[in-house]
Chains A and B, each alone.
Chain A
């Protein structure tokens, strides 16, 4: 029976290093001053060299999926998406209003079902943020464009 070949997740890391160092290297060529570009250029090449050694070792089978745990990534990325929406909401309606909505929503998604806890934490944290940062420290809070 033919053994099914599994995707080696280490390749993601390798690809990411190539992508980042490649982008930096291309950007180096647009820097006119030679002093400013030499050091980063050497670093980019070093980075690519390391990524190539890594790739060779992956292909040789030295790095496998044995030490990698990617389970739950979909759930983590879903949360990342919600946080992104939260950041967009902050830019629209401001920090306090966005946080009042985000916290109970996140708590519900993460499995909290006790309404007393959800409401208590939501109100308590926002109150603390307002009193400590807003009033006591007079800190500038993110304001949404809708209420600016």
Chain B
């Protein structure tokens, strides 16, 4: 068996995540990833491909995506146009079969990683339409009467944001992992790989502010990991001193550059009130 996955130089994988990934790789089953937004679900496939040195195929699902589009599409309109123009290509239907991401992945010369991103965005029937394809790793092309089989069983990573329940038959075929929001220790590691050599005290202060913010009751949208990283990027760019982040700075009520963390005005307003109240009580 080849190498196993345990994160990369820019992606921190907890042991639980690494276990799930390796199980999926070894047993050749799809891995279903759920979790809070911004916890690196989509990034995972990219990093698996990078760390195991395999090509990556991405299939981003939208609300209008059909399962068939991942396999292939029959471009009837082009064929119709060609027939009106008298093109000779029209005789061979294969010229009008457009391969989808799944087909491309099946044809890959080495074992590929296939990302099916945000599967829950599509129609409820979407996962059901892919059962056989993911199970047997083959599908049938009706137009040309041929069966396409995967040369190497791809490592399939599927992400979901829980907008729709996935069918049981589909879930049975997958491994499942829920990426939970990182604790402070993991978060420090994550910040470390993104900003190596950052001043320790700035990171500590930033994290403290960040976690305190996440704990504030009643926030509409809690800041996520990716927002924390953006914020730190800004802090570094603006060269903010760690002291400025400390709560006891009386000049400003909110952390500097809070716009990177809070994304709607109700939350900003709520936080202002909370900070104001806690100041008043402290006195």
Whether both chains belong to one complex is answered with no
What residues of chain B have their CB less than 8 Å away from a CB belonging to chain A? none
What residues of chain A have their CB less than 8 Å away from a CB belonging to chain B? none
